[in-house]
Amino acid sequence: MAVHVSEWHAAPFDLGEETVFAIGDVHGCSDELATLLGKIAATAGPLHGRKRLVYLGDLIDRGPSSLGVLRQWAEPASARGVDQVDRLMGNHEQLLMLAMAGGPHAPKAEMMWLSEAMVGSVALGEIRSAAGDPQGQARPELFQAALGEQALELFRTMRSHVAVGNAIFVHGGLDPAQDASDCLARPWQDFTDARWAWVHGEFLRWQGGFGGKIVVHGHTPPHLHFQLTGQQDPHALAFDRLGLDGGTTRTGIVTAAQIETGRFRILRAGKV
């Protein structure tokens, strides 16, 4: 397994002296994530200025080891050669959070999470096995038994987005029909009304910009990205959007970007 690093691309990012490594959807591809994180740590080491790692969400489900991914995801910044880690929520994590939290959306969210489309049943099986409870329900106690109290707290405190300079990092994107601040402020408890976790076509077809911001996102894999935009390279900066979903379980690739003021490059881990 290897990491392919693209050439640098000029881009109007303005992050000051900070470097951001943003990782797109992982979906249980633990080995690919480990390879990618090793490359990020080696790359970050010699760099000057502040270094940040951003997970764009959808760490879990579909792939072979959601728990292996979450254990790496929960590790501190120092383990990754960076100064800060930002953990953002994807729609898959949102579904599990809604199921664990109870409340009016819990039954539908849990049903969606365990469906053939989301394949949360694989992650639940892993959690049950690690917790030693083969019949356990998707509840905080089961999650904590499998991964520990610290991982549960990190899971509970995932954010919708993070802004660095003129870049907004978010899982799904922005709904152009909503004010950007209002869109990003919607709590995850609002289920699919939290459009930052779910938006696809409205966001990717929009060509009117985002108020001078560049949106770095995951959520839309290459085959769907092409259907919606016709864009041959799903990881090219276009119309102030940079997509980092590598398709993971379909392609075997976990994708990230190294972003600096004035430029970015793409890192792709797997059997590229």
Q: Regarding beta strands 241-243 and 253-260, do their DSSP bridges make them parallel or antiparallel, or are they unpaired? A: unpaired
What's the rounded Cα separation, in Å, for the pair 126 and 209?
Answer: 41
pLDDT at 155: 97
Task: Write the pLDDT tens digit of every residue in 178-227.
Answer: 999 999 999 999 999 999 999 999 999 999 999 999 999 999 999 999 99
pLDDT surpassing 80 at residue 10: yes
How is the chain split into domains, by residue range?
A: 2-90+156-270
pTM: 0.97
Which two tokens mark 101?
A: 């939290």
| Residues 269, 38 contacting (CB under 8 angstroms) | no
What's the rounded Cα separation, in Å, for the pair 260 and 186?
Answer: 29
270 exposed, middle or buried (CB, 10 Å; 0-12, 13-18, 19+)?
Answer: buried
Task: Write the pLDDT tens digit of every residue in 67-116.
Answer: 999 999 999 999 999 999 999 999 999 999 999 999 999 999 999 999 99
In Å, what is the CA distance from 119 to each residue of 63, 135, 139, 154, 266?
Answer: 9, 17, 17, 22, 28
Domain over 2-90+156-270 is classified CATH 3.60.21.10: yes
